[in-house]
Amino acid sequence: MDKFSPVPHDRAFVERALKKRGVKAAYDALEEEYTLAAELVRARKKAGLTQEEVARRMGTKRPAVARIESATSGHSPSVETLRKYAGAVGRKLKIRLAA
pLDDT tens, 3-62?
A: 777 666 778 887 888 888 888 887 788 888 888 999 999 999 999 999 999 999 999 999
Q: Which CATH number fits domain 11-88: 1.25.40, 3.55.50, 1.10.260, 1.10.3110?
A: 1.10.260
What are the domain boundaries of the chain? 11-88
Distance of CA 42 to the CA centre of its chain: 9
Going 86 to 91 to 95 to 99, the CA torsion angle's sign is negative
Q: Please, which pLDDT band fits residue 1 given cuts at 50, 70 and 90?
A: low
pTM here?
Answer: 0.74
Tell me the H-state helices in the chain: 11-18, 23-29, 31-46, 51-58, 62-68, 79-88
Cβ(40)–Cβ(68) below 8 Å: yes
Tell me the per-residue pLDDT of 52-76, one tens digit each, with 9 for 90 and over.
Answer: 999 999 999 999 999 999 876 677 8
